[in-house]
C-alpha cells in the first residue's frame, strides 16, 4: 500500500493543493489517475470537498470516518485503508487528514498495523497565519510537522517575501530535514513540487 498523508492546520490549503495535485496527475498520467484514491476527512468541510473532488470521475472519494483521523481512531483508520486496498487495489491512497491530526501518528499507526505500507507525509503550512497561530495553538502546529518528508509553505501570495523568510526560519526549528517549497495554491504550482510530494512512484 502506498499512502500519502497530507496534513496541516485547518485552512492551510490542503484541499486546494490536493485538487491541483489531482489535476497534475490527471494531466501527466491519466492511467495512474484511475488508480489513485483520495480520502477526504476534514470535519465540517466534507460535503464541499466531496463535490469538488468528485468532479474527477476516475477518483474515488471516500468519507470513511465518522470522526477525525488521529491516534484515537487508529482501528477505524487501519480497517478503512485495508478496505480501500481490498476493494479498489489503488496504486496510491491520498489521505487529507483533519486540520487537528498529527500526520506522524497516522504514519506510525499505519506502519505498525500494515507493515508493507509505504507512507509519505506532506505538511501544508500557511505563511499568512503561521506566526499568528503558532503560540495560541501550543504544540499543535510544530507537532504536525514531525517526520514530514515535504513541507509546503503555502499562501506566499498573501505576504511579503520577508515574512515568508521568517516563517520558514520558524518552521525549520521544528523540522529541518524535510524538503521545503514555497507555493501558492491560488496560482500555478510547479511540477517539481508535485513530484516531491508524490515521491518515487513504481
Ligand atoms: N490567497 C490564497 N488563498 C489560498 C491559498 N491556498 C488556499 N487558499 C484559500 O484558503 C482557504 C482554505 O483552503 P483549503 O484548501 O480549504 O484548506 P484546508 O482546510 O487545509 O483543506 C480557501 O478559501 C482557499 O481558497 C493560497 O495559496 N493563496
Ligand atoms: Mg480541506
User: What phi and psi values does residue 92 have, to the nearest 5 degrees?
Assistant: -150, 135
What was the pLDDT predicted at 54?
A: 52
Which CATH number does 2-198 carry? 3.40.50.300
What residue spans define the domains of the chain?
A: 2-198
Smallest-distance ligand from the CA of 126: 1
Smallest-distance ligand from the CA of 183: 1
Q: Which atom of ligand 1 is nearest to the CA of 124?
A: 20
Encode pLDDT of 91-117 as tens digits.
888 888 888 788 998 899 899 999 999
Residue 47 has pLDDT above 60, yes or no: no
Q: Is 19 in the pocket of ligand 1 (CB under 6 A)?
A: no
Q: Is 186 in the pocket of ligand 1 (CB under 6 A)?
A: yes
| Weakest mean pLDDT among 24-38, 97-111, 123-137, 170-184 | 24-38
Q: What is the pTM of this model?
A: 0.90
Residue 5 has pLDDT above 50, yes or no: yes
36 or 127, higher pLDDT: 127
Closest-CA residue, ligand 1 atom 7, reads: 13
Q: Which atom of ligand 1 is nearest to the CA of 18?
A: 15
Q: How many residues does the chain have?
A: 202
Residue 156: which pLDDT band, with cuts at 50, 70 and 90? Answer: very high
**And the C-alpha cell for 25?**
496527475
For 146-167, give the DSSP string.
TT-SEEEEE-GGGS-HHHHHHH
Strand partners, 122: 6, 150
Amino acid at each position: 500500500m502506498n499512502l500519502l498523508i497530507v496534513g496541516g492546520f485547518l485552512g492551510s490549503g490542503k484541499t486546494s493543493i490536493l485538487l491541483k495535485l489531482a489535476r497534475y496527475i490527471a494531466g501527466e498520467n491519466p492511467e495512474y489517475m484511475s488508480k489513485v484514491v483520495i480520502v477526504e476527512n476534514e470535519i465540517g468541510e466534507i460535503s464541499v470537498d466531496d463535490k469538488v473532488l468528485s468532479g474527477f470521475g476516475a477518483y474515488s472519494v471516500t468519507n470513511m470516518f465518522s470522526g477525525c483521523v488521529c491516534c484515537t481512531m487508529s482501528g477505524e483508520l487501519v480497517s478503512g485503508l485495508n478496505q480501500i486496498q481490498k476493494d479498489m487495489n489503488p496504486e496510491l491512497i491520498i489521505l487529507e487528514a483533519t486540520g487537528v491530526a498529527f500526520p506522524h501518528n497516522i504514519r506510525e499507526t499505519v506502519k505498525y498495523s500494515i507493515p508493507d505500507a509505504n507512507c509519505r507525509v506532506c505538511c501544508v503550512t500557511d505563511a499568512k497565519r503561521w506566526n499568528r497561530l503558532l503560540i495560541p495553538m501550543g504544540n499543535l502546529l510544530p507537532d504536525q510537522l514531525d517526520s514530514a518528508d515535504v513541507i509546503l509553505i503555502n499562501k506566499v501570495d498573501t505576504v511579503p517575501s520577508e515574512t515568508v523568510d521568517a516563517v520558514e526560519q520558524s518552521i525549520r526549528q521544528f523540522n529541518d530535514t524535510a524538503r521545503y517549497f514555497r507555493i501558492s495554491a491560488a496560482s500555478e504550482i510547479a511540477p517539481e513540487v508535485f513530484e516531491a510530494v508524490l515521491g518515487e512512484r513504481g
